[in-house]
Structure 1
Amino acid sequence: MSEGTYEVADALYVNRPARNTAEKIYMNEVPGRSQRRAGHSNSQDNSGGHHCCYKLAVVLVCVLLLAVTIALRITTLKIKDLQLRYKNLLEEKDELQVHCNSMTAEKAQLSAMTGERDELQRRLCVLESHDMKTIKQHAVDVTLDRDTANPKLILSADGKQVKDGDTRQNVPDTPKRFNQTVNVLGKEGFSSGKFYYEVQVKGKIRWSLGVAKESINREGQIKVRPKYGYWVIRLRNGTYAALAGPSVPLSLKGKPQRVGVFVDYDAGLVSFYDADCWHHIYSFTRVSFTEKIYPFFSPSVNGGGRNSAPLIISPVYICPIK
């Protein structure tokens, strides 16, 4: 068909009157139905958007619930850990309390023992102070034994003084000699009775004095205790002590310049005094002597000249009691 033929047909169709009323209604409703279908399509699109938002909200709520659950779990674990630590601390507290109670009881017992010891020392001091003249009547002439002196010790010609010379001397090696510690014994030994001697310690910061039994060990580093045959007191840099089982600190009224040593062999007594004013320093009591004992001396090391003063065995004289 030619283009002119299509134009004639269209003109006939447009100008043709409607066949009936129904057709008019149908033709008029066509645009409305199209619009409703379009509207329905838009409604479906909106419904789909709302559904996506709902799903997102659900996911967010689930994530939030999971986070809260995890946080609660962590908090619960922390609480349990704190409870366990608290329980352990309570147990440790109970253990410490028991230990503290035990230490308190031991301290009270030690205090009582110390009190008894001090009372015994006080009584000895009173008794022996009244007997000063009697004690000093037992003074003996003590001379240092060169054969026992450590090679570093320098003895005076008369055997009454000793000090540390820092260097070893060429002396015979005898079984009686202290080969490492700077000690020396008196030449005279005692196996009964009473004896007393005095030693000047003026100018020294370290020294040890007392008595020792004949069979003591003299090789290497020795332990100066009654258990090993020594009954000795000492000074170390301003601190005085009696070398008993454990060392006993000594509180003195002054700094002794001369120390007196008194021994009652049969009574098992070794006592020390500030010889210038007769203040009692310390006593070893109930000693069971079973062999000969000797005066013991240690001037200690020179200390770069700070302890160079000698120990001097001095004459015994009587001074008034203060």
Structure 2
Amino acid sequence: MYAGCSVLSEEQFLCSICLDVFNHPVTIPCGHNFCKSCITQHWTVNVQSQCPMCKDVFDRRPELRVNPFISEMADLFRQSTVKKTRSCSVQKRTSSGEVLCDVCTGTKLKALKSCLVCLASYCDTHLEPHYRIPGLKRHELIDPVENLEDRLCKRHDRPLEMFCKTDQMCVCQFCTESDHKSHVFIPMTEEYDAKKAKLGNLKAEIDQMVQERRLKIQQIKQSVKLSKEDADRETADSVQIFTALIQSVERGLAQLMDMIEEKQKTTEKQAEGFIKELEEDISALMKRSAELEQLSCTEDHLQLLQSFPSLNPAPPTKYWTEVRVHSSYEGIVRRSVAQLEETLSKKMEKLCADVQLKRVQQYVVDVTLDPDTASPYLILSDDGKQVKSDEMQNNVPDNLTRFSTCNGVLGKQSFSSGRFYYEVQVRGKTDWDLGVAKESVIRRGKIRLSPKNGFWTIWLRNGWEYKALAGPGVLLSLKSKPEKVGVFVDYEEGLISFYDVDAAALIYSFTGCIFTEKLYPYFSPCGINGGINVSPLILLPLSHTN
């Protein structure tokens, strides 16, 4: 009976309602079988007694009895399914760990290699003939793999050894002589090497992308760190500036209150003087009034008439009608606020300039002049910190990096990222050029200084004309003549600023610049101009500040 059920399909033992193997199967009048509990539940839900399969309707609900034959067959099928499941589980546990030798009997040993020709895996002992027998030596051995039958051509049962480039698939030798005869094919090992090299290149590209992104993460973290440092400095500078402004306001308020108090004291003192004079007048008038009253009371006609001509109506006193005591405070606050506003504006401008200069000075770098770039008409000091012009052309090597006629020289140090600052003394000069230049600037013949040509500079001409060479030039109006000029560059921000160091004032800024190559400090002391411009440009030492 078991043999009979083994050839039956699984669907024949499944209930169409629960889709599981029959449990107490029953047969209804139309001939279809169901689990007893399933059909009972179905008819309980649906009032009409109808077959779920053929839809036959029964006038009365059939009496349900378990079919013993089908029940026995279902039990046998269930038991065989459990055995197969257990067998598969054991096989999976054996194969999931490692590939076993196909030749070993009894306890199978771990396979050392798999043969693509024999389509079998061998342990160390059974692999020995492949190393000894000449015919077997030509077989291709690989690390142990499962399912070697997958490496056979499904059509010819031959090893997959060639690669069809036309169809991009692995084929056997027979395929190359039949279906793929007109196609382009190469040995599978050759295509493997090509694909492996391609994978290597792809992996290298991906690794490079990973590295670039890790670098970008570091850059972003560094940017956040720098931003935090800038924020902290900005906060400290703001506190310093606003504290100074608040102190100025408090001093202005104290001065205003002192002024009002002093004015009130003056008014009170003036009033006291007026009151004293008035009291003296009253005393004199009352004395005269008493004399007049005494004379008017006399009965001596002769005395009255003789005394009357010598009497004045009143003693001489001050005319008080126009005298006023009044202090006007109208407009005093407005005038004080206006004066304070002007003072604060100047103070704030000075404080901000001081703070800004101190901020950029922390990026100071040690710049020295590069003699290989200096014009033949320039003389450099031995320490590379000073440069001045000469009337005579000096005998120097004709380097391609040298400025030929323009009296220019570059710094040795180059910058392609970050921020840097340096200071130059220009005292005693009537003409000079200062700034930065990109590495690829033209250095032969006459040169026009402009950002378009790779120069970001300012100059002085004739001792008074300051100009930013922004192409076109921008005339600069300076309150004082700089003796020290500071140059600050923020490469990523595209910013180049020039400062009057002693006045702590901004001279000019190039903004929105786009830098794509190295930048070098640029200097030109210009011609000696008849002996009035002989002073050198001097690079000043400056310590790092926080």
Q: TM-score range by the shorter chain?
A: 0.5 to 0.7
1:251 maps to 477
1:292 maps to 518
1:131 Cα deviation after fit: 3.1
1:229 maps to 454
2:363 maps to 138
Measured in 1, the distance between the counterparts of 2:513 and 2:531 equals 37
Measured in 2, the distance between the counterparts of 1:239 and 1:132 equals 24
Of the three residues 508, 525, 537, the one matched with 1:282 is: 508
Taking structure 1 as the reference length, the TM-score comes to: 0.59
- Matched position secondary structure for 2:530: coil
- Matched position secondary structure for 1:227: helix
1:18 maps to none
- Matched position secondary structure for 2:529: coil
Going from structure 1 to structure 2, the CA distance change for 1:125 and 1:249 (only over 3 Å counts) comes to farther
2:376 maps to 151
Contact conserved, 2:357 with 2:501, CA < 8 A, in 1? no
Going from structure 1 to structure 2, the CA distance change for 1:124 and 1:187 (only over 3 Å counts) comes to farther
More strand by share: 1
CA displacement, residues 92-125 of structure 1 (integer Å, 9 cap, x when unaligned) = xxxxxxxxxxxxxxxxxxxxxxxxxxxxxxx999
1:190 maps to 415
Measured in 2, the distance between the counterparts of 1:125 and 1:174 equals 46
Q: How many residue pairs are counted as aligned between the two chains? A: 197
CA displacement, residues 278-304 of structure 1 (integer Å, 9 cap, x when unaligned) = 111000000000000000000000112
Query: What is the percent sequence identity of the aligned residues?
Result: 57
1:129 Cα deviation after fit: 4.4
2:467 maps to 241
2:31 maps to none
- Matched position secondary structure for 1:147: helix
Contact conserved, 1:129 with 1:280, CA < 8 A, in 2? no
2:71 maps to none
1:306 Cα deviation after fit: 0.8
Over the aligned positions, Cα root-mean-square deviation in angstroms equals 2.0
1:164 aligns with 2:389: yes
Measured in 1, the distance between the counterparts of 2:472 and 2:501 equals 26
Taking structure 2 as the reference length, the TM-score comes to: 0.35
Q: Which structure 1 segments of 5+ residues have no match?
A: 1-122
Measured in 2, the distance between the counterparts of 1:126 and 1:217 equals 41
Contact conserved, 1:133 with 1:318, CA < 8 A, in 2? no
- Matched position secondary structure for 2:388: strand
Contact conserved, 2:357 with 2:499, CA < 8 A, in 1? no
1:310 Cα deviation after fit: 0.3
The 4+ residue runs of structure 1 with deviation greater than 3 A are: 123-129
Contact conserved, 1:199 with 1:312, CA < 8 A, in 2? yes
Query: What amino acid is the match of 1:178?
Result: F
Q: Which structure 2 segments of 5+ residues have no match?
A: 1-347
Measured in 1, the distance between the counterparts of 2:357 and 2:423 equals 13
Contact conserved, 1:214 with 1:294, CA < 8 A, in 2? yes
1:313 aligns with 2:539: yes
Measured in 1, the distance between the counterparts of 2:472 and 2:428 equals 27
Query: What amino acid is the match of 1:233?
Result: I
